[in-house]
């Protein structure tokens, strides 16, 4: 069961009619915000917006999903390096430490295959967010990922060292960029 702002208790048919109208306005505003920000994007089959950008040191892959059921704009950034499965538990604790240093959104460990992701959610229950608001949210998401990806990459590297039985020295995992 999903807990969303779009509960239909006592609301009759009116809220469900507004959902489509609001969602279309939000979709238009997201497109206008991306165009106004000079961000190249593509629209995926499910209607999500995909944006690829280059941070200071690593590429950033962003997806913006519109959840019509919960009336939210969901922004996800997938960090573009591989996480070894045996370090997931240790990294989850350290990711929580990084989350305590940021104000908007959070990093989390996506499983199978393990990846570090950033997520920020904005409700549009009372009305569609403006173009400027969407630009601001996208900017916050990119900046937060860009500022913290180096820290997170170092944590992955810290837990990725393994003993090479043949030569008796530690070997790192290296960085394998993943994603489209």
Q: Is 135 helix (H, G, I), strand (E, B) or coil?
A: helix
Q: What are the strands of the beta sheet with 41-43, ordered from one edge?
A: 41-43, 49-54, 59-67, 72-79, 115-123, 106-110
pTM exceeding the 0.75 threshold for the entire prediction: yes
Task: Establish whether the linkage from the previous residue to 113 is cis, with ω within 30° of 0.
Answer: yes
More confident residue, 58 or 163: 58
Convert the pLDDT of each residue in 65-91 to its tens digit: 999 889 999 999 999 888 888 888 889
Close Cβ partners of 84 (under 8 Å, ≥ 6 residues apart): 114, 156, 159, 160, 173
Domains contained in the chain, CATH given = 14-171 (3.30.1460.70)
Given a contact cutoff of 8 angstroms between Cβ atoms, the answer to whether 133 and 64 are in contact is no
More confident residue, 30 or 54: 30
Convert the pLDDT of each residue in 117-146 to its tens digit: 999 999 998 999 999 999 999 999 999 999
């Amino acid at each position: 069961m999903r807990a969303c702002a779009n509960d239909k208790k006592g609301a009759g048919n009116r809220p469900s009619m507004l959902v489509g109208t609001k969602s279309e306005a939000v979709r238009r505003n997201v497109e206008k915000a991306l165009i106004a920000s000079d961000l190249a994007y593509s629209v995926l089959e499910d209607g999500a917006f995909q944006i690829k950008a280059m941070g200071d040191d690593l590429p950033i892959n962003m997806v913006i999903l519109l959840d019509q059921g919960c009336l939210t704009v969901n922004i996800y950034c997938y960090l573009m390096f591989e996480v070894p499965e045996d370090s997931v538990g240790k990294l989850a604790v350290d990711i929580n430490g990084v989350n305590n240093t940021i104000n908007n959104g959070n990093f989390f460990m996506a499983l199978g295959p393990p990846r570090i992701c950033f997520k920020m959610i904005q409700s549009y229950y009372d009305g569609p967010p403006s173009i400027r608001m969407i630009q601001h949210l996208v900017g916050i998401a990119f900046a937060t990922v860009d500022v913290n990806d180096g820290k997170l990459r170092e944590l992955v590297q810290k837990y990725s060292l393994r003993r090479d039985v043949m030569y008796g020295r530690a070997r790192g995992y290296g960085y394998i960029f993943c994603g489209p």
